[in-house]
Structure 1
């Protein structure tokens, strides 16, 4: 039986970025495939009780910042706590990742490069030229992906992933589903590891 992880990701989430490299390492160790499902949290939050960062209580915002620093230091991952281009429109980047998958490529390197671009490199992932350069550097044909990402089928797949996430009780990013079990947050990756080991 093939081991797999359904990976619901919001491509400007710092928590998704912090867990990204570890997810790929865990999956590779278990011979598991990753089904990338970029989602639009702006559509998920209203039906799941979530709030955009700016609307959260100041106590939660302060604690978020403290936790980001703790995890950045603990994992030794480069991360700018307040990057220049955040918040940012993630739809162009999300559709780029969906396009890569639709064309039969492994979208993992691209998804990780986009997250790194926001949080370590302070680049604008809403800008087509920036996305083209990120894709090229990750080993893709950036121009071809940009063109493909504008296709109606790609847009519909992205919308379908978001609705699928809502239907499966996803409420935040990153969310990993293994054998029907949902794990929310990069700090649950140890449980993902165990679930794959048991699969």
Structure 2
């Protein structure tokens, strides 16, 4: 019987970018039901001991760049180590993904998530800018009303709920995948995610 996976993501995360398309394919291959749950990392980090990038020790910041380069090459995925629009507020894009999920369903939400991530890490676009988000909606022929919906109280409530869900599930980074109460953190754990979804 196909399983359900809670997909906790942050639209400004390079690790979510590197793992997103592989995860989507795994979910498709296993027939899994995906619950797309963008979360506010700014509220998740403090309770788990995590630090924003700029506050991490220099050696951790340096090694992050080494690992991003390694995975980018290994996965053959172009990635700008120092994108023009980063750091960037993830809230507007996160709430747009939620709005698309509500209005068009999970496949559309997963599709636009991929383009949001690529906009930051490959295309040098500002995902905090409404014009950028509107272009992504248009690219997928999604209702432009999703942009207005993303600013609604209903979407904000759902965003807050997903962030609380993440805390409750002991999530501390993005991407994280929760299957039958078991958490898998990071795009480098996708082999384990696939195994759990197949079991």
For residue 67 of structure 1, what is the aligned residue in structure 2? 67
Deviation, 1:140, is: 1.2
In the alignment, the residues of structure 1 paired with residue 139 and residue 104 of structure 2 have an alpha-carbon distance, to the nearest angstrom, of 18
In the alignment, the residues of structure 2 paired with residue 196 and residue 76 of structure 1 have an alpha-carbon distance, to the nearest angstrom, of 25
- Does the Cα contact within 8 Å between 1:113 and 1:138 map onto a contact in 2? no
Moved more, 189-198 or 103-112: 103-112
Deviation, 1:138, is: 2.5
- Does the Cα contact within 8 Å between 2:36 and 2:110 map onto a contact in 1? yes
* Pair 1:12 & 2:12 matched: yes
Q: Please list every run of 5 or more consecutive structure 1 residues that lacks an aligned counterpart in the other structure.
A: none
In the alignment, the residues of structure 2 paired with residue 102 and residue 72 of structure 1 have an alpha-carbon distance, to the nearest angstrom, of 32
Deviation, 1:159, is: 0.7
For residue 192 of structure 1, what is the aligned residue in structure 2? 193
- Does the Cα contact within 8 Å between 1:85 and 1:124 map onto a contact in 2? yes
In the alignment, the residues of structure 1 paired with residue 73 and residue 26 of structure 2 have an alpha-carbon distance, to the nearest angstrom, of 20
* Pair 1:158 & 2:184 matched: no
- State how many pairs are aligned: 197
Q: What pairs up with 1:166-177 in 2 under 5 angstroms? A: 166-177=167-178
In the alignment, the residues of structure 2 paired with residue 176 and residue 92 of structure 1 have an alpha-carbon distance, to the nearest angstrom, of 22
SS at match of 2:134: helix
Deviation, 1:105, is: 2.1
Q: What pairs up with 1:23-172 in 2 under 5 angstroms? A: 23-106=23-106, 107-141=109-143, 143-172=144-173
Deviation above 3 Å: which 4+ runs of structure 1? none
In the alignment, the residues of structure 1 paired with residue 72 and residue 191 of structure 2 have an alpha-carbon distance, to the nearest angstrom, of 17
Deviation, 1:33, is: 1.7
SS at match of 1:139: coil
Q: Please list every run of 5 or more consecutive structure 2 residues that lacks an aligned counterpart in the other structure.
A: none
Deviation, 1:178, is: 1.1
In the alignment, the residues of structure 2 paired with residue 4 and residue 91 of structure 1 have an alpha-carbon distance, to the nearest angstrom, of 25
In the alignment, the residues of structure 1 paired with residue 104 and residue 17 of structure 2 have an alpha-carbon distance, to the nearest angstrom, of 23
